[in-house]
Amino acid sequence: MITLTHFLVVSVCIFCIGLYAVLAKRNAIMILVGIELMINSAVLNLVAFGRYDKVNYGGQVFALFAIVLAAASVAVGLAIILSVYRKYKTIDPNNITDLRD
């Protein structure tokens, strides 16, 4: 039987992979992917803990809100990346020195 500990271990592994992707920061797209992995691990925690709340289903409700917020943040992040690429012709965060016009 799969216990809560199994869910939490998988969530920690996913979070660590996402954290490595953000800290390695090869390019801006990789940073967004890392942030998405970290949000997905939080959603997995919410669903895992919500499994034990049979009355209110609080974990599942919060997970739906987190998924909607993650989708909105990716849309905004991609728009920012596209505008930075148009100006600097690169998406490497180390090469972008200023954001003023």
37: CATH: 1.10.287.3510
For residue 93, what pLDDT is reported? 77
The pLDDT value given to residue 101 = 55
DSSP state of 25: -
The pTM score is 0.79
Instruction: Give me the residues of the chain with pLDDT under 70, please.
Output: 99-101
How many separate domains does the chain show?
1
Q: Which helix (H) or strand (E) holds 32?
A: helix 28-50
Q: Which residues contact 94 (CB under 8 A, 6 or more apart)?
A: 25
Judge whether 44 lies within some domain: yes
Domain that holds residue 46: 4-88
Tell me how far apart the alpha carbons of residues 63 and 69 are, in angstroms, rounded to a whole number. 10
Q: Which residue has the tokens 């148009």?
A: 86
